[in-house]
Amino acid sequence: MQRKKVFPSPQDTYNSIMELLSKIKPHIESFIKDPKGHPSVAPDLDRVAKLAETFMEQRPKSAKGFQEMSDSLDQEGVNLWNISGVITSSGELQTAQPQIGTVRLAAFRLVQAGLEAKPGVSALLNLLRMASKTGVALSEAGNNAVAGSVLTSAAKYEEMLRNAEDPEGTHRHDIASSTIVYLSSRMEAAWNEGNVTVAEIMSKKIAENEQHLALLTPQVREYLAVKFHAIGRSMLKESKAQAADAVGWLQRALALVDKANDETTGSLAKSKISILRTLALAYFTSESYDRAEAVLDELIPIVDSGQAKESQEYQQLRWLRLAVYKRRKARESALTEALKSIVDHMPWTESNISEVLQELGTLSQQHAVIMGIHHYGLKRAMRFKAGETSYADRFLLSLIFHCSKDDNHARAMKSLEDVFSLLSESDVELGNVVITACMTLIWRFGGKLHQGKKWAAAADCCLLASAHYPAIRSINEMQKAPDFDRKMLLLATQVAHRSEMRLVLLSVLNHLLKTLKFGSSGEIVVEAMTLLRCMIKLILGLLVDPTANRTALINTMVEHFRTEQKAVSLIMKDLSWLWRRAYNSAVQGCSEWEGCGDQISELFEIAKILLETQCQASPLVPDDESRMYLISATFAAVSGKGQISYCMLHTDNGIDVPVLSTREMITATGTLNPQILRTMNADIRKAKADIEHAVQQEGPLRNADITSRGETYVHVLRIFEAEMCVQLREWDEVSDIVKEVVKTGPLCVGTYEAIADMLAILVASLDQNTLSVERFSRWLRAICTTLLARDTPEGRLKAVGFCEQAIGVIEEHDSPQDSYPMDERHWLLGTAFNMAIECVHGSRLDEAKRWFEAALGTCRFVPGGKEQAAKISESYTNLLSRFEKAKETHLGAAMVF
């Protein structure tokens, strides 16, 4: 027999609810104190909510005897609701969010269970608010099914409230507020569930309900506007494609805020700013630039008048306005004002300044905007006090760079002059590194103009970068003044030193030196030597600068050493410093000073004379170090390095030319100047004698290093001397040199061989009968390799001529005793054929023809030459046919024309 199911009575349900509540309350209190450290009570609260629903279903039609339990449940529901408010305000919203929804659900169901059979307007208002908030809390916690059930109940209460009688309109404000909050809850729940269509419908119901909106308080309108704004912003962040849809939500949010009229509060004003900011971004994203500009024009004045106008969020609005202006291709004045607003309100940091300068780089065609903002930024930088980071250098360097890119040269120069004038009138100190960087940029600018053959524009840049010229000109004019006093130059020295204008300082010191009158006065000489030493050190420091005029500086330094040399009898104590400085400067110049060989040789000569003077004046025997430097300076002075100057090429008397300069003069002019060669020979003989004398001063205990070094130098000088004599064809002198070599030590054989090699080549040029074919072949190969490596038309023509001459030598000297070396014949063949192919590819047909003919001529004198000649002839024939076709095409084209 089946047992009948027994249902609990309302009293049993009530007892179960109260029992669960007594169990839950202590846990809830603990949860409020420590949400993370206490177990959840959600399951028990869910049971309470379900029991409350069961209690509602068990409610009898007659409420007699039932009212006491209903009132108790209503009170318990109110208590739970209040507890949910405490949990919400505890600050742990993220952790407590699921608990809030559960507590509110239980509270709502308890109050619902205790509801009267015919509730009044106040009870309905209370239940509608509770249902709306509970539905939102459950939706935010992700419990969409239960949230839908609660909001369904809320819809029933909203309908009852709509049909309720309120003849005197006592509750009309509360009814409007509760209804709008209910619709907002339906909207939020639909949005959280992903149902955009329902959310859109609910938002439009709210926006179109003018009657209820007019009765809302500013706080409720702000609440609704914040909800609309949040949904619109989330749509904008989610996808740019939804920007147009987001605009609708944001417009409804702005309309709600604008309805506040005179009741605007501080929080409402902040909400309006936030909504306008997002709306402007939405318009920009949806490419409605005119509307975005209108919104920003309304918003930015409000922001600028506020206290937090320099915040990062508001700065982004100014950047957004600039982007809108650029997209709309606004006027230059609008762009300038937008950028000025950014500069005015941005924190003065390197990253922010870099961002502005990068933005200016995108406005390459807007010269007025670029220059205006650079000037504006510099003016703000000038307002910083000493010791504060102004970043004026960043704006200055960027401005110079932009001016170098400007097509209008006159405008660029005017901009640079204006900014330099602005800086000169201020107290900004830029420092050496910045000034050097500015000058380097201007010099580079001028260099590009010079390469483009824009001479006048390049000169403008050079004059702009050479700020020392006006100062030097003023110093020259100062010395011509009738009331001139040396104290003026001393003051100028201090100013130039403080300003770190080294070229100006050098000019002032030179003028000070000229004001001194050399005589027997020891004080004047000491002052002169001090000035000379300062100027030499200053010049050596300037030579490190890559932009320095090295030739002029080196000439000036040599002149100062000459001045010291003239006063050598009065400055004995400075001799050591002077000769060492001259010697070290010359050594440095050998590796760094291009085109200054004459000056380097003269510095070595000055160092030698000063060192000799010191040795002669000293009562002691010169030490090994002094002798070593003496013979090195003597050798270096006569040997020389670099090119001879133009004036030396046309001087006949009293000339002192180093050996290597003499060689280059002969190569450059192709002529011999007997007077220069004889003078050079005399200098070589004197240098030999000086070196030998220095070596012999050592006495019986000789230093092996000095002896070896001296003999090596004399060995090289004998070769130089023989070279000069051969050039002059003074063969008796050459014979004397050879006899002198024979009497020398272990280096005599090497010296003799070097002289013999030189004579063999030069004499062979005069008399072919004494030519060594093997020596000629090696010499020719070396010359041809050098000429071909240069890869110039002249070099290639000379090389093919030499190869043709070599074929003639092979024909004339075909005897076994004196034949042309076989490896050199193969080298000639390979080189001629390879050059012919290279000329064909380079379309140099006439030149290729000569190389092919040289290769065919060489084939007659190598093993297997017939086979190689056949291959070369085939290539040669193809070349000739191409050459003839090209010629015919050219003539045909000329006839048509």
**Do 755 and 637 share a structural domain?**
yes
Q: Identify which of 385, 415, 380, 421 has the alpha carbon closest to the alpha carbon of residue 398.
A: 415
Q: Identify which of 280, 274, 361, 350 has the alpha carbon closest to the alpha carbon of residue 313.
A: 274
Per-residue model confidence as pLDDT tens digits over 162-208 = 887 776 767 888 888 888 888 888 888 888 888 888 888 888 888 88
Per-residue model confidence as pLDDT tens digits over 80-90 = 888 877 776 55
Q: Identify which of 174, 228, 230, 226 has the alpha carbon closest to the alpha carbon of residue 205.
A: 228
How much is the pLDDT for 554? 66
Per-residue model confidence as pLDDT tens digits over 333-362 = 889 898 988 888 888 888 888 888 888 888
Per-residue model confidence as pLDDT tens digits over 878-888 = 766 766 665 55
**Do 782 and 758 share a structural domain?**
no
- Concatenate the DSSP letters of all residues of 597-613 into one string: HHHHHHHHHHHHHHHHH
Query: How many angstroms separate the Cα of 200 from the Cα of each of 196, 275, 862?
Result: 6, 18, 99
Q: Does 712 or 642 have the greater pLDDT score?
A: 712
**Do 783 and 694 share a structural domain?**
no
How much is the pLDDT for 387? 58
Contact of 44 with 106, CB cutoff 8 Å: no
Lowest mean pLDDT among 182-191, 196-205, 542-551, 614-623: 542-551
Asked whether the predicted pLDDT for residue 415 surpasses 60, the reply is yes
Asked whether the predicted pLDDT for residue 398 surpasses 80, the reply is yes
**Do 750 and 632 share a structural domain?**
yes
**Do 782 and 756 share a structural domain?**
no
Asked whether the predicted pLDDT for residue 396 surpasses 50, the reply is yes
Cβ neighbors of 66 (< 8 A, separation 6 or more) are 10, 59, 60
Domain boundary at 764, 798, 833, which? Answer: 764
**Do 646 and 692 share a structural domain?**
yes
Give the CATH number for residue 821: 1.25.40
| pLDDT > 70 in the chain, percent | 70
**In angstroms, rounded to a whole number, what is the distance separating the alpha carbons of residues 451 and 101?**
78
**In angstroms, rounded to a whole number, what is the distance separating the alpha carbons of residues 115 and 117?**
7
Domains in the chain, number: 2
Say if 685 falls within a structural domain: yes
SS (HEC) of 539-573: HHHHCCCCCCCHHHHHHHHHHHHHHHHHCHHHCHH
**Do 818 and 759 share a structural domain?**
no
**In angstroms, rounded to a whole number, what is the distance separating the alpha carbons of residues 521 and 659?**
41
**In angstroms, rounded to a whole number, what is the distance separating the alpha carbons of residues 390 and 348?**
8
**Domain span holding position 825:** 776-896
Question: pLDDT band for position 895 (50/70/90)?
Answer: very low
Q: Does 897 or 274 have the greater pLDDT score?
A: 274
**Do 790 and 760 share a structural domain?**
no
Amino acid at 867: E
Mean pLDDT of 534-547: 68
How much is the pLDDT for 891? 37
Helix H or strand E encompassing 382 = helix 367-382
308 φ, ψ (degrees, to nearest 5): -100, 40
Asked whether the predicted pLDDT for residue 323 surpasses 60, the reply is yes
Helix 121-140 with 144-163: angle, nearest 10 deg: 160
Question: pLDDT band for position 656 (50/70/90)?
Answer: very low
Say if 46 falls within a structural domain: no
**In angstroms, rounded to a whole number, what is the distance separating the alpha carbons of residues 77 and 127?**
11
What's 197's DSSP letter?
H
Exposure class string for 142-160: b at 16+ Cβ within 10 A, else e: ebbebbbebbebbeebbeb
**Do 733 and 843 share a structural domain?**
no
Exposure class string for 235-267: b at 16+ Cβ within 10 A, else e: bbeeeeebbebbbbbbbbbbebbeebeeeeeee
How much is the pLDDT for 652? 36
How much is the pLDDT for 777? 76
Per-residue model confidence as pLDDT tens digits over 566-603 = 555 545 566 777 777 778 888 887 777 777 777 788 78
Say if 828 falls within a structural domain: yes
What's 654's DSSP letter?
S
**Do 794 and 751 share a structural domain?**
no
Query: How many angstroms separate the Cα of 736 from the Cα of each of 357, 725, 733?
Result: 77, 11, 5
How much is the pLDDT for 463? 63
How much is the pLDDT for 745? 58
How much is the pLDDT for 6? 46
**In angstroms, rounded to a whole number, what is the distance separating the alpha carbons of residues 88 and 84?**
6
**In angstroms, rounded to a whole number, what is the distance separating the alpha carbons of residues 744 and 846?**
55
Say if 27 falls within a structural domain: no
**In angstroms, rounded to a whole number, what is the distance separating the alpha carbons of residues 659 and 682?**
11
Domain boundary at 711, 734, 764, which? Answer: 764
Mean pLDDT of 725-736: 70
Say if 701 falls within a structural domain: yes
Structure tokens belonging to residue 50: 């379900």
How much is the pLDDT for 21? 81
Question: pLDDT band for position 545 (50/70/90)?
Answer: low
**How many CA atoms, within 13 angstroms, populate the side-chain half-sphere of residue 477?**
6
Say if 357 falls within a structural domain: no
Question: pLDDT band for position 687 (50/70/90)?
Answer: confident
How much is the pLDDT for 5? 44
Cα 262 to the center of its chain, rounded Å: 54
Query: How many angstroms separate the Cα of 842 from the Cα of each of 665, 787, 848?
Result: 34, 18, 9
**In angstroms, rounded to a whole number, what is the distance separating the alpha carbons of residues 455 and 459?**
6
Q: How many other C-beta atoms lie within 10 A of the C-beta of residue 45?
A: 25
Cβ neighbors of 130 (< 8 A, separation 6 or more) are 81, 104, 107, 108, 111
**Do 752 and 652 share a structural domain?**
yes
How much is the pLDDT for 32? 67
Contact of 207 with 184, CB cutoff 8 Å: no
Q: Does 853 or 526 have the greater pLDDT score?
A: 853
Question: pLDDT band for position 627 (50/70/90)?
Answer: confident
How much is the pLDDT for 645? 29
Contact of 461 with 449, CB cutoff 8 Å: yes
Asked whether the predicted pLDDT for residue 381 surpasses 50, the reply is yes
Question: pLDDT band for position 664 (50/70/90)?
Answer: low
Query: Exposed, middle or buried by CB within 10 Å (0-12, 13-18, 19+), for 850?
Result: buried
H helix and E strand count, the chain: 40, 0
Contact of 266 with 311, CB cutoff 8 Å: no
Cβ neighbors of 582 (< 8 A, separation 6 or more) are 561, 603, 604, 606, 607, 610
Q: What is the mean pLDDT of the chain?
A: 75
Asked whether the predicted pLDDT for residue 683 surpasses 80, the reply is yes
Instruction: Return the CA Rg of the chain.
Output: 51
Query: Exposed, middle or buried by CB within 10 Å (0-12, 13-18, 19+), for 503?
Result: buried
Q: How many other C-beta atoms lie within 10 A of the C-beta of residue 19?
A: 11
**In angstroms, rounded to a whole number, what is the distance separating the alpha carbons of residues 153 and 151?**
5
Question: pLDDT band for position 772 (50/70/90)?
Answer: low
> Alpha-carbon dihedral of residues 784, 789, 792, 796, nearest 10 degrees?
30
How much is the pLDDT for 299? 86
Query: How many angstroms separate the Cα of 554 from the Cα of each of 436, 484, 594?
Result: 22, 30, 11
**In angstroms, rounded to a whole number, what is the distance separating the alpha carbons of residues 609 and 616?**
10
Question: pLDDT band for position 51 (50/70/90)?
Answer: confident
Query: In 3-state terms, what secondary structure has residue 315?
Result: helix
Say if 361 falls within a structural domain: no
Write down how long the chain is. Answer: 897
**Do 736 and 639 share a structural domain?**
yes
Question: pLDDT band for position 475 (50/70/90)?
Answer: low
Domain boundary at 710, 732, 764, which? Answer: 764
Say if 681 falls within a structural domain: yes
Structure tokens belonging to residue 490: 């001393």
How much is the pLDDT for 492? 66
What's 39's DSSP letter?
-
How much is the pLDDT for 641? 40
Question: pLDDT band for position 646 (50/70/90)?
Answer: very low
How much is the pLDDT for 505? 72
Q: Does 465 or 802 have the greater pLDDT score?
A: 802
How much is the pLDDT for 770? 46
